[in-house]
Amino acid sequence: MQSVRKGRVSLVETATDEIRGQIVNGTWPVGSRIPPESALSETLGVSRASVREAVRSLVHSGLLEPRQGDGTFVISDDDSAVALRRRLERAELSHVTQVRQGLDVVAARQAATHRTDAQLAGIEAALARRKAALAAHDSEAFTAADAEFHVLVAEASDNPVLADIYRSLSAALREELRRAACLDTATAAPADPHSRLTDAIRAQDPQAAVDAAVLLLAGHVRDLALPLDD
In the chain, what are the domains? 2-77 (1.10.10.10), 80-224 (1.20.120.530)
What is the spatial distance between Cα 113 and Cα 205, in angstroms, rounded to a whole number? Answer: 7
Which sign does the torsion angle of CA 174, 179, 185, 191 carry?
A: negative
Comparing 225 with 51, which gets the higher pLDDT? 51
Task: State the average pLDDT for the chain.
Answer: 82
Rg value, the chain, Cα: 21
Bridge partners for 179 per DSSP: none
For residues 194-223, average pLDDT: 91
pLDDT of residue 138: 87
CA 18 to chain CA mean position, Å: 25
- Helical packing angle, 160-180 and 79-89, nearest 10°: 30
The yes-or-no verdict on residue 4 having pLDDT over 60 is no
For residues 6-15, average pLDDT: 73
Pairing of strands 71-74, 64-67: antiparallel
What is the spatial distance between Cα 64 and Cα 149, in angstroms, rounded to a whole number? Answer: 24
CB atoms within 10 A of CB 129: 18
The yes-or-no verdict on residue 27 having pLDDT over 80 is yes
- What single-letter DSSP state applies at residue 36? P
Half-sphere exposure of 228 (CA within 13 A, CB side): 14
- What single-letter DSSP state applies at residue 33? B
Q: Which of these ranges, 78-87, 165-174, 210-219, has the smallest mean pLDDT?
A: 78-87
pLDDT of residue 3: 39
pLDDT of residue 68: 77
- What single-letter DSSP state applies at residue 46? S
Comparing 8 with 34, which gets the higher pLDDT? 34
The yes-or-no verdict on residue 85 having pLDDT over 80 is no
